[in-house]
Amino acid sequence: MPFNTLLTEDRGAVRLITVNRPDKLNALNRETLTELHAAFAAAAGEASVRAVVLTGAGPKAFVAGADIAEMNGLTPVQARDFSRHGQALMTRIERLGKPVIAMLNGFALGGGLELAMACHLRLAADSAKVGQPEINLGLIPGFGGTQRLLRLAGRAATLELCLLGAPIGAERALQLGIVNRVVPAAELEATTFALAEQLARAAPQALRGILDAVLLGGEAGIDTGLDYETQGFALAFSTEDMKEGTGAFLAKRTPNFTGR
């Protein structure tokens, strides 16, 4: 599928989606949001895609935020729609049903951090910087940042990042639980793809059960959350992959999960 603002590439069962506006540090304008919606919908619908890696083009930025030039001209009604469009994208990614890794190759600011937080794992180059600097523009986060950062890193860190607006380095983001791993910039791609390939080899229905139990169940009360877990656990018993995984363990061999 051709896009104006994205590049997509399949490496085996891993789909790489790259936001491709490096001259604007990959800022998210409405076209980019719309294309990301379409790219993730396509990834969700293709069984051959078993994991997704999301990154930004160029050496400097993952995504440096929502497009400030575009926001400058929005009316309040358009701003509401822009926020809803962005939030819907983040929810689509979070609920994709397949694992998505954000590969943070540089600045992940504002909408860029919000995009990264909608992904299931975040790997950061040691040179990456993350933050919610909207306050410096007289704004607040609008693509879910106040809510996802709160859930990832707690109230103290969320208020610090959003109220003060200062970006933090990758190591501090790791301490706060905002990113999963920090690696030397030169090793970021290899490390990310090694993890993505591991996820692409795992049993898809079991991955989905975990995502649903944690992401959907985690937003409900404990009883509903436990119910999500039981449903996912039971559903796994309907798959050939579950027989393969348990059988391979007992036969002392490596399992081959096919998604059936």
In the complex, which residues of this chain contact ligand COA (CB under 6 A)? 24-25, 27, 64-69, 107, 109-111, 133-134, 137
Question: Smaller CB distance to ligand COA: residue 96 or 162?
Answer: 162
CA 46 to chain centre: 18
Minimum separation from the CB atom of position 36 to ligand COA (A)? 15
The nearest distance, CB 62 to ligand COA, in angstroms, is 10
Of residues 88 and 214, the one with the C-beta less far from ligand COA? 88
Residue with tokens 């983001």: 173
Query: Which contiguous run of DSSP H or E holds residue 17?
Result: strand 14-19
Query: What gap in Å lies between CA 205 and CA 131, rounded to an integer?
Result: 34
Q: Which of 70, 94, 114, 189 is catalytic?
A: 114
What does the alpha-carbon distance between residue 147 and residue 143 come to, in Å, rounded to a whole number?
A: 9
In the complex with ligand COA, which residue's Cβ is closer, 109 or 128? 109
How far apart are CB 124 and ligand COA at their closest, in Å? 15
Q: Which residue has the tokens 């995504």?
A: 63
Closest approach, Cβ 70 to ligand COA, in A, equals: 7
100-104 and 121-125: which strand pairing? Answer: parallel
| Lookup: tokens for 203 | 């049993």
Task: Compute the residue count for the chain.
Answer: 260
Residues 6+ apart with CB under 8 A from 163: 135
Considering the candidates 46, 134, 189, 197, report the single residue annotated as catalytic: 134
114 is catalytic: yes
179: left (phi over 0), alpha (psi -120 to 50) or beta: beta
Number of other CB atoms surrounding residue 136 within 10 Å? 12
Task: Say whether 70 is catalytic.
Answer: no
Judged by beta carbon, residue 25 or residue 170, the one nearer ligand COA is 25
Active site residues: 114, 134
